[in-house]
Structure 1
Amino acid sequence: MTATPRPRATASTRAWRPATEIERALHEAVMDDDRIGYLRALATADLFHYVPKEHKDGGGNAYVPADDSQGIWCLVMRTAGERLPRRPRFVVARTSLAELADTWPGRRYSLHVNPGTPAFMRLTTGALDRRRWRRIVREETAELPTDTRPTRLLTTAAGPRTGPLAHALACGAHLSVANGVLWNEVGDVYDDYGREVGLLRESWGTATAQDWQEQMDALLAGRNSPVEPEFALDIRQELAQANTGAVDADLWRRACTAVLTDMEAPAEADAVVQELIGRVLRYESRFRADGLLPPDGFVRSAVGYDYGRAVSFARWGLSARLCPAGTAEASILRAGELCRKAYGSWEDFSAGYALGRVLRFDTEEFGQWYAKVLEPHRVLTSEPGSPWRTIPWRMPSTV
């Protein structure tokens, strides 16, 4: 394995800024001629390469080799912060150092990471090199569950970090942090073109621009999630405002029954709501123990789960080429506005998002559906660079 010579500072490299912590670590390794450090930085990073859209749509997964300026055949990979601008005929495919070690097309190709930047390194790819890649990946990912990307906050210096768009993107940060992707980007890819297309088709029944718009409208209207949680939470919120404080569980239950009786709802509806109230109370107790709620806190609304997902759904749709950039950005901004109207703080919103998620999928198992919202909450409320600590919740000029 060889590396490029230690670079000399030029006007262009002095102007370059690492987009994320990943590029910063790679650049430091290049400057120190630390090839092992470079591989360690790559071990948990996503790597991206570009393929023709028609090739990917046709089921092709092969890497597309390139001939660099020195006549060396190579495969070009880029980290998240150094992906190229959106191009109509090309889409992004995600891989990893571990996957490359197992699927490398042949020794004749070298690996070029982030060419044209100060974070560039050229790596040889013989059997011993790839064995080293596997070892380093094992060491760096030993504490991660199998096939799990690290939960991490990734901020790109090139993306919005203040203002309404940054605020709205931060409303989708639960999923961004859980998936280890950039939170503050509206670009060509959220994650990977093929995965986005598959996710939208298989999990959302979305394969066309019309499908995408219908689902987005449902999310922004709070109609994607079941209606019963919001019904019960709305009644408790009204009781809390009338009683200026916490609401006794029995009073909440009786009030829901009374409203359903006035609506002439069937008896089964009351049974569903009563069971739901018990689940909400048990989840809120766990939320308080885990810091998702303050000791005397309760969730005012779960609609944030739809609004927060709308941010990611917009980015997925843009990646899958189901909507134009302007439509995706407008949807993201609308989701942020709705979040601000429904909640009073980042923590308030996060608890509502978490409750909506676990009521929909967790069934009180407190497994991955819960862990994948609790871990991002802790990251976003604690890390100094988190948008939840740098962007104010209230934005008077846009509300």
Structure 2
Amino acid sequence: MGLWNGEEPAKQGGTESERTADGPVRSVGGPARGVGERETLPARDASAAEADPPTDTGGTPSRHAPAPRPAADPAPPTDPHPTGDPAPPGAPRLPDGRQPSDAPTATDGPSLPRDDARQAQPQALEQPQPQPQAQAQAQPHAQSQPQMTAESQPRGEWRSSAWQPPSAVEQELYDAKTRGDWARYVTALAHTPLFVADSRERVDAHPDTVVFTPYRDPRTRTDCLAVYTEGMLPAPAEDPVFHSGSLGWYARVWGPKDPPWLAVNPGSPCEAYFPTTPSHRAVWQQHADRAAATDAPPHPQLRALIVGGPLRGPVAHGLACGALLSVNNAELWNAMAYHGGGYTAERDRLSEWWGITSRADWQRTLELLLRAEMTSPVWEFTLGIRRSLALDFAGAVDVDHWRQVAERALWHNAAEAAEPRITPDGVTVAQPRSDAEVRSQVAGVRRLIGRITRYEARFRADGLLADGRFVRSVEAWDYGRASCMARWGLGARYCTLSEAEQAVLRAGRLSQANYRSWADFSAAYILGRCLHFDEEEFGDWYEEMVAAHRLLMSDPGSPWRNLPWK
């Protein structure tokens, strides 16, 4: 690593797919991070959806797309439950194969609204008083005027002490449901992506379309479309895959032939069923508009799975090596069973930022990151000179001395390259370089040393580096991205969960072997990122990492505060 031959290779995969403002990660209910709103799923003219009230579709999938070209409707997605049970597409299951709704659970949920006339001014959705099953069946299901009601406690066997919501989102939904505060419930939905299952074969054939495939719900006795919040998704599998969209997107694209009910997290204690009439969808849109207007500017968020994601152990450590990216993108840092922004969004992310369009591309890129071969060898050569000097002199390295030694090393390497060498394979042909070429390399390294020292001075001022400390290597930038690349590949179905986990473990081990602490790792990662992107502007590329670093180093729930480095 210490001897660089002076040749600057072409940059490979120079982007890191972490800036959602510039990347393909799509907005799911508010402005995309750093830019204006960008919808996750293909939009279509919503005016057609307002023409008639929903009708029973008989389970026929409905297709949502801008329809850039005529095409026959594809076959319905493969039934993920071929046993004939009434589970919605993509429904998560318990370890013994049951649905969550098969376990001891209350079935009162948000009780189904009674049959009333369509209202002119929709408000928050109502939860009528729970009815006995026989009485409920006698009531026809249609639109009711949404109103606010007094708080009511849910009936049944579910209690907060018996069920741990996977993340803060599901906790908020459960709390709102328990209190009967449906305005708060819908507001929470407006701030989070909602995932819907689709057939992978169909999506691969028609990637610009989304099909709504309803299921027959025994409680509504009608078709429902099941959607899930992120913490309720099953582990990624070959089929089905999931799309994500904002509540506002669902409100706009819903058509007259789409299901009459939207089922949120069906079969769980935080489930809810909402009518999908035009007036009810107007309520969704109002909440979505308010969410977009009140959302704070993009900022780092530390989000975790309390259930379903590792919080301790080697896998958690490997995932925490990618936490600067996860926090910056407000993603669940410990979601090993990663879906990201949905199947097509993750494929777009890898294609647009990394040029990855196949499993082979993903494997090749991941291996380069794990071997730390995507960081510039010039950076490693330059930092390696200082690292050697620090070991020799057991102290701080003078910048001028660093430059002089780096210059001598470059001239020495150029002289060696000009001499033929005898190897087991024979005589290696000499590759002499002109003096002008070497002088240019020397000037480049001298400038690089200046950049590194100025970044490190700023790091110390901002609390990223302790006084007297320096960055020994920027390989952390590759290891952190490798941890994330493993999950991105899983979300795009370029690998299995087991393969992704092994890559995360490897990234964690390499990070531990080459760095001394989370702070040491973080400073190295941020320096690599800034040398590539920031150009000493100390702009967003720098500031957002400082914010993520501070959050990870200070938040009591941070993996960096709870996981020992070694």
Alignment TM-score > 0.5, same fold = yes
Q: CA deviation at 1:178?
A: 1.5
Q: Report SS of the residue matched to 1:75.
A: strand
1:41-91 CA distance string (max 9 Å, x none):
233322222111122212222433333222233332211111123332211
The equivalent residue for 1:348 is 520
Q: Distance in 1 between matches of 2:505 and 2:267?
A: 34
Q: 1:369 aligns with which of 526, 538, 541?
A: 541
Q: Does 2:557 match 1:380? A: no
Q: CA deviation at 1:18?
A: 0.7
1:209-264 CA distance string (max 9 Å, x none):
22111111110111112111111111112222222222221111112111111111
Q: CA deviation at 1:326?
A: 2.1
Q: Cα RMSD between the aligned structures?
A: 2.1
Which amino acid in 1 is paired with 2:518? Answer: W
Q: Report SS of the residue matched to 1:67.
A: strand
Query: What is the aligned residue count?
Result: 389
Say if 2:369 and 2:478, in contact at 8 Å, map to a contact too: yes
Q: Distance in 2 between matches of 1:289 and 1:42?
A: 40
Say if 2:320 and 2:334, in contact at 8 Å, map to a contact too: yes
The equivalent residue for 1:151 is 300
Identify which range, 305-314 or 279-288, moves more after superposition: 279-288
* Percent of matched pairs sharing the same residue: 40
The equivalent residue for 1:231 is 381
TM-score by length of 2: 0.65
Query: 5+ residue gaps in structure 2?
Result: 1-124, 131-152, 415-432
The equivalent residue for 1:25 is 172
Q: Does 2:151 match 1:8? A: no
The equivalent residue for 1:65 is 214
Q: Distance in 2 between matches of 1:155 and 1:353?
A: 21
Q: Distance in 2 between matches of 1:45 and 1:241?
A: 50
Q: Distance in 2 between matches of 1:302 and 1:328?
A: 23
Q: Does 2:341 match 1:191? A: yes
1:337-391 CA distance string (max 9 Å, x none):
1101111110110111111111111222223322332222122111111110000
Q: Where do residues 225-304 of structure 1 align in structure 2 (5 Å cutoff)?
A: 225-264=375-414, 266-304=438-476
Normalized per residue, the structure richer in helix is 1
Say if 2:225 and 2:259, in contact at 8 Å, map to a contact too: no
Q: 2:286 aligns with which of 104, 118, 132?
A: 132
Q: Report SS of the residue matched to 2:212.
A: coil
Which amino acid in 1 is paired with 2:559? Answer: P
The equivalent residue for 1:82 is 232
Q: Where do residues 90-101 of structure 1 align in structure 2 (5 Å cutoff)?
A: 90-101=240-251
Q: Distance in 2 between matches of 1:312 and 1:250?
A: 38
Say if 1:46 and 1:96, in contact at 8 Å, map to a contact too: yes
Structure ID, larger Rg: 2
Q: 1:123 aligns with which of 266, 269, 274?
A: 274
The equivalent residue for 1:397 is none
Q: CA deviation at 1:190?
A: 3.4
Change (3 A) 1:61 1:155: same
Identify which range, 249-258 or 123-132, moves more after superposition: 123-132
The equivalent residue for 2:52 is none
Q: Which has the higher contact order (CA 8 A, sep 6+)?
A: 2
Identify which range, 349-358 or 204-213, moves more after superposition: 204-213
Q: Where do residues 98-113 of structure 1 align in structure 2 (5 Å cutoff)?
A: 98-105=248-255, 109-113=260-264
Q: 2:191 aligns with which of 44, 49, 63?
A: 44
Which amino acid in 1 is paired with 2:498? Answer: G
Q: CA deviation at 1:304?
A: 0.3
Q: 1:169 aligns with which of 302, 316, 319?
A: 319
Say if 2:158 and 2:269, in contact at 8 Å, map to a contact too: no
Say if 1:101 and 1:133, in contact at 8 Å, map to a contact too: no
Change (3 A) 1:40 1:371: farther
1:289-344 CA distance string (max 9 Å, x none):
22222233321211000000001111111121112222221111111111011111
Say if 2:236 and 2:490, in contact at 8 Å, map to a contact too: no
